[in-house]
């Protein structure tokens, strides 16, 4: 995320891709490598080129850049991932779980969120 964003971290919200609403224009799609090796498809604003959301391993789930939302304050972090690569001055003391890398969803997500993700993935097949 540091290389991709040019920042210390990225704040993403996972949501079903079919409920993402773009308020102006059509985003352009840029395919880039990812740490997993599977790549990602980044949707960028076609005017200012800001990254709006990414998809990985299919199109069913969008990882929306929280800073691009109308109300970014409505989506505080509920987990911190890839903390093993955080910069030394980033302090994670907000009570959200901290994972050195990625995490097992089943260990951290509410059952309703797991079912919602499974439904989105099934619909996307």
Q: What is the CATH number of the domain that holds 61?
A: 2.170.150
The two three-digit tokens of residue 17, written as one number:
């891709």
Give pLDDT, residue 37.
Answer: 83
The count of domains in the chain is 1
Torsion angles phi and psi, residue 118, rounded to 5: -60, -40
Domain that holds residue 44: 2-124
Q: Which of 28, 6, 15 is nearest to 64 (CA)?
A: 15
| Tens digit of pLDDT at every position of the chain (125 positions) | 656 666 668 899 999 999 999 999 999 999 998 877 888 999 999 999 999 999 998 899 999 999 999 999 999 999 999 999 999 999 998 899 999 999 999 999 999 999 999 999 999 77
Residues 6+ apart with CB under 8 A from 33: 39, 40
First to last CA, the chain: 28
Give pLDDT, residue 12.
Answer: 93
Helix ranges, the chain (H):
2-5, 105-108, 111-124
For CA atoms 78, 84, 87, 89, the dihedral sign is positive
């Amino acid at each position: 995320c540091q290389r991709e964003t040019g920042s210390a971290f990225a704040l993403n919200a996972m949501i079903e891709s079919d409920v993402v609403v773009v308020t102006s224009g059509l985003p352009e799609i840029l395919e880039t490598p990812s740490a997993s090796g599977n790549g990602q498809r980044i949707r960028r604003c076609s005017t200012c080129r800001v990254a709006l959301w990414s998809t990985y391993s299919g199109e069913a789930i969008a990882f929306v850049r929280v800073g691009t939302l109308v109300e970014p304050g409505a989506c505080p972090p509920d987990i911190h991932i890839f903390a093993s690569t955080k910069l030394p001055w980033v302090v994670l003391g907000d009570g959200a779980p901290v994972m050195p890398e990625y995490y097992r969803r089943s260990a951290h997500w509410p059952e309703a969120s797991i079912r919602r993700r499974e439904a989105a993935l099934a619909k996307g097949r």
